[in-house]
Amino acid sequence: MKRKDQLSNIKQLSDADLKAKIAEQKEALTKLKFNNTISQIDNPLRLRTSRKEIARMITELQARTKQAK
């Protein structure tokens, strides 16, 4: 159920909000990778979930631009 909730939240965002959220998540992922390199983070699966969340947002954005054409 959690994934469906995330998808519905992503679909409700406007294009500008979605682009801002993608940039924010990419920055957070970069920091998370850096912290993992320096010392082990508590939950290394956060890296994977963060990447997947970014991919979902990018996919939604691309679908919107394709649909608009």
* pLDDT > 90 in the chain, percent: 72
Residue predicted with more confidence, 66 or 4: 66
Q: How many CB atoms lie within 10 A of CB 8?
A: 9
Domain ranges of the chain: 2-68
Question: 26-36: per-residue pLDDT in tens?
Answer: 999 999 999 99
Question: 38-59: per-residue pLDDT in tens?
Answer: 998 899 899 999 999 999 999 9
Is residue 29 a contact partner of residue 51, using CB atoms and an 8 Å limit?
Answer: yes
Is residue 28 a contact partner of residue 36, using CB atoms and an 8 Å limit?
Answer: no
Is residue 25 a contact partner of residue 6, using CB atoms and an 8 Å limit?
Answer: no
Enter the pTM of the model.
0.87
Q: How many CB atoms lie within 10 A of CB 57?
A: 19
